[in-house]
Amino acid sequence: MRANVFRGPGKFGLEEKAIPKAGPGEAVVRVRLTTICGTDIHIVRGEYPVRSGLTIGHEAVGVIHELGAGVTGYNTGQRVLVGAITPCGQCEPCLSGRTSQCGGLTGGWKLGNTIDGTQAEYFVVPYAQANLAVIPDGLLDEQVLLLADIASTGFAAAESGKVRLGDVVAVFAQGPIGLCATLGAKLMGASQILVVDNDPYRLQIAESLGATALILAGNDAVSEIRELTGGRGADVAIEALGLQSTFENALRVLRPGGTLSSVGVYSGHLRIPLEGFGAGLGDYTIVTTLCPGGKERMRRLMRLVEAERINLRPLLTHTFALDQIDRAYELFGSRQDRALKIAIRVW
């Protein structure tokens, strides 16, 4: 089979690999559609360390090709969605409800991180009983693909921030995850959703997803948000980019006792400014979230699609074939041609 393989910073591309076999408790999925994620960009740039020879990718829709011993209730040929996070469901973090941290810190993220990922013709699903989510016949691949990671992550930003009915929410960065965080804040009942980005097109998309005020980065976003909230500040600020500057701004717009919900991936030192932190006396809460996964999470998100509460297809702005994946990475990394999310059609 063909697979997109990482060999070092700036060095990746299609290589031939053997089609994997399903071990006990595993499944092999033949990929129909996968994506490029912002985390994959961090990997190929050497900003997030993975081993040489790893197949990249962690979002996929496909069909069951092979089932390992002990996996029951499924059949080969079934169309499935597999979350980016594949928890075992049995370890202490999983049984405590922290499935993203399966087996230890960030341990739930295996695909394209510690084991071969989804930018290939086939991939292995670990703990398949807990992670194969059968796709209802009425839903298209494109309707559910982004639930595997970015939608689940963006919605989790609002969930972890404990957005309540009537809350004021500020969302910093309107990339794919930030846009889903904006949609998540709307789903949770926010009354005002103030979004910040440096791309006017992405701000327009955010407005279509529920943003109530659009703030162009480069202006004084903190002052604008303070003014829009009558000096009160936001109940919840979501940081969806992973930069020191956006983290600080998210902290500075909070009302006393507010929550900063961070879903950015940071590749350098992160510092907390004392004045923005109220010298530690502002009753602030800072929470971080790794994308929730597992088949129950995927099933619930697909129910939102079935009920027409969410429509993520407009975020899939470009589609490439697997043998064009180098072009797809170049486009996604450069953010040219209004690229938001890129689908890779494998089969």
Domain boundaries, the chain: 2-149+291-345, 154-288
Give yes or no for residue 1 having a pLDDT over 90: yes
**Do residues 340 and 315 lie in contact, with contact meaning Cβ atoms separated by under 8 Å?**
yes
| Percent of the residues in the chain that have a pLDDT greater than 90, as a whole number | 92
Q: State which H helix or E strand residue 162 sits in.
A: none
Q: Which residues are CB-neighbours of 200 under 8 A, at least 6 positions away? A: 216
* Residue pLDDT, tens place only, 246-263: 999 999 999 999 999 999
What is d(CA 170, CA 239) in angstroms, rounded to the nearest whole number?
9
* Residue pLDDT, tens place only, 103-162: 999 999 999 999 999 999 999 999 999 999 999 999 999 999 999 999 999 999 999 999
Q: Which burial class, exposed, middle or buried, applies to 75 when counting CB atoms under 10 A from its CB (0-12, 13-18, 19+)?
A: exposed
Provide the CATH topology of domain 154-288: Rossmann fold (3.40.50)
The string over 28-58, giving b where at least 16 C-beta atoms fall within 10 Å of a residue's C-beta and e elsewhere, is: bbbbbbbbbbbbbebbbeeeeebeeebbbbb
The DSSP symbol for 111 reads: B
pLDDT range class, residue 165, cuts 50, 70, 90? very high
* Residue pLDDT, tens place only, 177-211: 999 999 999 999 999 999 999 999 999 999 999 99
Q: What is the pLDDT of residue 265?
A: 85
Structure tokens given for 185? 């804040």
> What mean pLDDT, rounded, does the chain reach?
96
Give yes or no for residue 81 having a pLDDT over 90: yes
User: pTM for this one?
Assistant: 0.95
CB atoms within 10 A of CB 160: 21
For domain 2-149+291-345, the CATH superfamily is Medium-chain alcohol dehydrogenases, catalytic domain (3.90.180.10)
Determine the average pLDDT of the residues in 304-325.
97
pLDDT range class, residue 278, cuts 50, 70, 90? confident
